[in-house]
Structure 1
Amino acid sequence: MTHLAIVDDHSIVLQGLELMLRDAPDLTLAGLYQNGDQLLSALQQGETINTILMDIHMPSINGVELCKMVKRDYPSVAVIGLSMVSEMSLVRLMIKNGASGYLHKNAGKDEVLKALEKVRRGKRYFSEEINDMLIEGKSRGEKTVRKSPFPRLSRREKEVLGLIVDEHTTQEIADKLFISFGTVETHRRNILSKLGARNTAGLVRIALEYRLLED
């Protein structure tokens, strides 16, 4: 039996998925949550959840970070990413952090149920487009690099960005680089501005997509 939690900051998405899945066989909707904090609270309180459909782009805790936290503390819970876009950097990060699948938000009921069934049996499921992109990337050795449209980062900014991508906190970055907490925050703000990103997830996505740390 699949005990499913759905996490998305858009009520219309939650309501649509609830309507789609509420009568599905061998599936119980364990909860609908509008952010990662609500989901984590439910898990901590012992809510019976063994599978999560999780939006990638959410405020407070983004899907990549939330997936990592869930798999760290509740490794038996399966996570399927949910997004309107096929950003391979995010797909890879989700896989790296333990996700069992990735679906487009425009997936139909049959595909969603197929994904949930495969994940329930311990397998992985990725939409056909994502599978094709993963296979294509492997076949060409991921050697194609997109030309960066962004201003060049300074050496220090690249060091800070690299540590952000490696999931270090601001204080950890300050300690590693022997600079102050405030200086790290200044570098972070400058990097956000240069890359046009809104948050850490955006920085990570852009850094990976344009391979800003490889030159």
Structure 2
Amino acid sequence: MPSDLWPAHHDLQSLSPLVAARHLDADVDRAGTGDARWSAVDRQHDSQGTARGGGRKRGAEFQAIGRSRGGRGTKIHLVTDGTGRVLTFVVTPGQMGDMRPAHDLLARLPPSAKLLADAAYDSNGLRAFLAERGTLPVIPNNPTRRRFHPFDKTAYRARNAIERTFSRLKDWRRIHTRYNKLANNFASAVAIAAAIICWC
């Protein structure tokens, strides 16, 4: 029956607050007020931060992972002797060119009689650097060169030593398929594999 229905406002009482009323914005540091009661750092430790901030060792620069035509990857630049033993190496992001680390790698080693490298290392700067060290560059000329340098094709045949070294390094699954997140850990795996290859 309609008479059995109660109106919505029938005997309704408001609830009393359980705590004293307060303004939530009282402790918030508004721009320019300099209120020291609230800090903008919402981390448990001051050294923590986002992946690209706060000085934490994260991001591509610590992982040596870059994007190249083949996708995301890492590149190993190394120098070997005539028998394929690794003398020095460096790990870089995949998109880095071969020329950038070449000077630093060669500067770590004593001068050699010859340097065998592919056309990616054909630059006037590297040739001048090798000439100062008394090293003969055995590097094929880039087709875009206007003035070609002498090139010893017979000596260049021995360059497959470094290709064999890369092939042996890739026998290690940890190197062929990189599992290490940080570049230092991956470089350590490369160093261990290179040392074992020298013993074999």
Range class of TM-score, shorter chain: under 0.3
Of structures 1 and 2, the larger Rg is shown by 2
More helix by share: 1
TM-score in terms of structure 2 length: 0.27
TM-score in terms of structure 1 length: 0.25
